[in-house]
Structure 1
Amino acid sequence: MIPAFTIAAAAIPPLFALLALMLAGVVLVSLLLLHLRQSLLAGYFICGVLIANSGILNVLGGGESHGQVSQMAEFGVVLLMFTLGLEFSLGELRFLRRLAFVGGGWQMVLCMAAAAAASLALHSTTWQGAVLLAVSLAMSSTAVSLKSFQDLGLEASPGARMSLAVAIFQDLFIIVFFLFLPLLLPHEGESTALMPRLGSLVLRGGAFVILAGVAARWVIPWLLNAVTRTRSRELFTLTVIGSCVGLAFVGGLLGLGLALGAFVAGLAVSESIFKHRILADVMPLKDLFLTLFFVSVGLMIDVKAAFALWLPICAITAVLMLSKAVIITFIARYLGLVHKQALLAGIGLCSAGEFSLVLLQNAGSAHLWSHDTQQTLLAASALSMGLLPALLKSGIPLGDWLVKRGWGRRKPVKIDPGNLRQRISGITDHAIVCGHGPVGEKVNKALLDSGVRTLVVELNAETVQQLQRQGQAVLFADASHEETWELTKLKHARMVALTFPDATVNAQALAMIREHRPDISVLARARFSSDVERLKRLGATQVINDETEASRAMEDAAITLQGA
């Protein structure tokens, strides 16, 4: 039986077999962690650790399949950087500039100084390794932090805004650091003299900036406009991914790294009307490949070595989280947050981050420190990310206790939602109008005239541009995408109007609306009488039928003409 299984396993492509095992393991482990209300990222990492240490890699192709998964994980990092650039907003940076540049600047300087000093004092690595270690441990997990705030219903709190501001600065910093990373990690055969390498880097960087500027200003917007007119969802997604991969490829060819090219590709469309539609299309792919990234990090962990090094792993994790929490809490207090919110900001940013793991992988490949040190740092970084949600939840009663003790009476920093994106993020008690054709336009105007705030969801690029110029809150998004309804702040809306007559799209939208808001009033439109009952069964409060309304209008007109 066992030889037959071995022969059958050998006939399956190693990468496919490993992917099947990884995805099945991720689902099972994640279900358990969801039941325990723990972070899913920890589940991905644990899944990789279990696979790496079960011996099954030898059956499924060993190092070859592991290397292929690592390459797919790199694509996950590319998509992460693309969405990072896509979500980056100069308007939001201006809005949070004091928290970002002052708070984020001091956080990076103090955390890097502490980590570098500890590394050099312990004589654990070279100066290049100390710099890389300092940057990696100073970074925080934006994904885990903001998701934890959202799960606790605190995404609009001053502490969460402080975390967001510092995360924006960290994103800016890591992009610049990726640009200079080749100076720290020279390729084999490359000159080690600093000035020639620096000059070459400046030339390559300048060439890339010119190429990226041309693409961002003319090529990508023209291409997306052309594709939008075809109304092909598949072609739009392919164009987005192609733009991302294309600029990432150019960045890689110039020796600047795939990550930098992908970030610039996202930045190229970050202020365009296509942003929300692109996010809806790219997010599922990003989540899949980032899952592979975290699993691949777990594949690098040797459990035997980790058990032997459990004491330094726990010690580094504790020192890392405690020192970052203290530093960021004091910075937040200095910037005016009350003690409870400052504490939440400190806890929310106290872990290592996704880019910590990327940098540690690069350092391990460059042999900047020993295998045991690599295992210790990877395990400690992953452990800190896994502990963050539970620690943030425990920070709420601790903050309440501090408030009762009379600590931190200063007023929190006031944040004025100025730009369009912020108005959409902070919108509440509003009506969501899907479609802005002749019918949608009249519905939207009637609601505005009645004093109701509205948010329009529209797929016509020219209409979206026109509405933006008029100051109307609008999303360039598809009502049949689940991500669209998260962007519309459905939980805080008072009603939804589906003004287009496509019953299939309306049915898809209704299913998602009722999943998140079974109580909200939904006005829908149907072209044919046969679709009315179907939409009502799916949860439409009221359905306007084009055939019925047209027949009434024709009947009235016929009687009027007959009487004339």
Structure 2
Amino acid sequence: MQKTGKNPDSAVWYVNSLQLKIVVGVEQDPFVFTIFLIFTGAAVMATLALYARQSLLVAYVVLGILLGPSVLGWVGHAGLVEDISHIGIIFLLFLLGLNLNPAELLHMMRKTSWITLVSSLLFGLGGMLVALVFSFGFEEALLIGAVMTFSSTIIGLKLLPTSVLHHQRTGEFIISILLLQDLLAIGLLIYIQGRGSGIESVWTPLLLILKLPLLGLIAWLITRYLLIRLIRRFDKIQEYIFLTAIGWCLGLAELALAMGLSAEIGAFIAGVALASSPIALFVSESLKPLRDFFLVLFFFALGAKMDLSVAMPVLLPALILAALSLSLKPPVFRWLIERLGESKKRASEIGIRLGQLSEFSLLVSVVALEASVIGHKAAYLIQFATLFSFIGSSYWIVQKLPTPIALKDELRLD
């Protein structure tokens, strides 16, 4: 056999992909072949997930685990997976920022800020105690507790009927709590970046705090005096809107990097800067296909990077954290919301819909691991706990509440 000159990881990728090439009978380009596997596999897994009344996010993560190095090894190109994951985070945060209207948030904050803060303290304490029981370090336990405070925006809103989302008080409560949790998550990401910067200085957090409003000011000025005017002038050209929005997102991400911040924070601020403009909804609608594209890629990449041999020791604590989330969040939210005078039925429904961990928990685990703030074991604990909570919460919601994919005809509501 002739030597290929590849490193061991590349050799594994070559052998695994070669096995499939022999079956197909043609030579495959690694990039095209990987994209083919991801999206064809995602279509198949999504079909199975819908039949099982599960969140599609679960299907994408499971697909990544199956096709990644830990199981079949058909997608073993580590560099490609890392790039996909990073780009996915950037665009996800940009689109989250687009839906975070500052004026609307301030209006809702008066109603639900204390609910969010009290519940976050209780959930964070519960998660931290579980982590300490399983011998995690104090700082890792703090972070594990912190990610327990977030609920899934995607599950909370995607499984909520459109009529409830836009026209009922239930939707208003869910949106306001999730928006506040998203802000807390962004703050946590900023803290993680400061801890992982490697600069041992008491001024580092202060400098980050000062850079954020500066970046926000730059974004606001460019948006108001240049970006909005350009988009309004050429708003009938869909391709122009699409390219401008992407360029704005990536441009501010690069500026954030140049200022010593993260690309993810820059993308989030880029979205928030556009959120208060009258064209925000139009831009968000234009980018929906891109959002869905990167949702698949990010969660697939997350699963593909999981090493099951390392993850096995954290399966028990992950199950306990997921069970804690599913059993603690609904009654706590119900009790707090009832204190505002809401009916027991509405408070109970909101609690069930917010009873899982969040995709932001996954983002935090990835960023914290890359910044060496936590180890692989803690990162896998967060990821598997989130995955298990997604499975349990999705099934619970479609069994008991009105959703577009409810099991019972009387509960199926789009």
Please indicate the TM-score interval, normalised by the length of the shorter structure. Answer: 0.7 to 0.9
**1:136-166 per-position Cα deviation (integer Å, ceiling 9, x unaligned):** 2211111111111228x64344433322110
In the TM superposition, residue 185 of structure 1 has moved relative to its aligned partner by 2.0
RMSD: 2.9
C-alpha change, 1:54 and 1:181, in structure 2 (3 Å) is closer
- Matched AA of 2:188: F
The answer to whether 1:115 aligns with 2:127 is: yes
Q: 1:213 corresponds to which residue?
A: 220
The 5-angstrom pairing of residues 60-99 of structure 1 reads: 62=76, 65-99=77-111
Shift of 1:66: 3.0
Within the candidate set 259, 267, 270, 2:264 is matched to: 259
The residue number in structure 1 matching 2:147 is 136
41 and 5 in structure 1: CA distance in 2 versus 1, 3 angstrom threshold: closer
What percent identity do the matched residue pairs reach? Answer: 24
| 2:298 is aligned with 1:289 | no
Residue aligned with 1:219, SS: helix
Q: Which moved more, 1:197-206 or 1:99-108?
A: 197-206
Question: How far apart in 2 are the matches of 1:174 and 1:160?
Answer: 21
By how many angstroms is 1:51 displaced? 0.7
Equivalent in the alignment of 2:34:
18
- Paired residue type of 2:78: H
Equivalents in 2 of 1:369, 1:202: separation in Å?
A: 23
What residue in structure 2 maps to residue 149 of structure 1?
Answer: 160
Q: Given residue 252 of structure 1, which amino acid in structure 2 is its aligned partner? A: L
Partner Cα distance (1:177, 1:290) in 2: 21
How far the C-alpha of 1:93 sits from its partner, in A, is 2.3
Cα 1:134–1:255 change in 2 (3 A) is farther
- Answer yes or no: is the 8 Å Cα contact 1:343–1:395 preserved in 2: no
1:328 aligns to what? Answer: 333
> Which residue, 107, 112, 126 being the options, matches 1:100?
112
Matches within 5 A, 1:364-375: 364-375=369-380
Q: Which residue of 1 aligns with 2:200?
A: 192
- Higher share in helix: 2
TM-score by length of 1: 0.63
1:374-453 alignment, distance < 5 Å:
374-396=379-401
Residue 267 (structure 1) shift? 1.8
| Aligned mates of 2:279, 2:154 — CA distance in 1 | 23
Question: For structure 2, which runs of at least 5 residues remain unmatched after alignment?
Answer: 1-17, 403-413
TM-score computed with the length of structure 2 as normaliser: 0.84
**Larger radius of gyration, structure 1 or 2?**
1
Q: Residue 301 of structure 1 contacts residue 379 of structure 1 at CA under 8 Å; is this kept in 2?
A: no
Alignment partners' CA distance in 2, 1:386 and 1:100 = 27
* Residue pair 1:344, 1:392 contacting (<8 A) in 2 also: no
Equivalent-residue separation in structure 2 for 1:165 and 1:112 (angstroms)? 19
> Deviation at 1:291?
0.9
Aligned length: 386
Residue 222 of structure 1 corresponds to 229
**60, 63, 80: which one pairs with 1:47?**
63
| Structure of greater relative contact order (alpha carbons < 8 Å, 6+ residues apart) | 2
- Whichever structure has more strand as a proportion of its residues is 1
Cα separation, partners in 2 of 1:46 and 1:55, compared to 1, 3 Å: closer
In the alignment, is the contact (CA less than 8 A) between 1:103 and 1:331 conserved in 2? yes
Q: Secondary structure of the residue that 1:88 maps to in structure 2?
A: coil
What is the rounded CA distance, in whole Å, between the counterparts of 2:19 and 2:335 in structure 1?
62
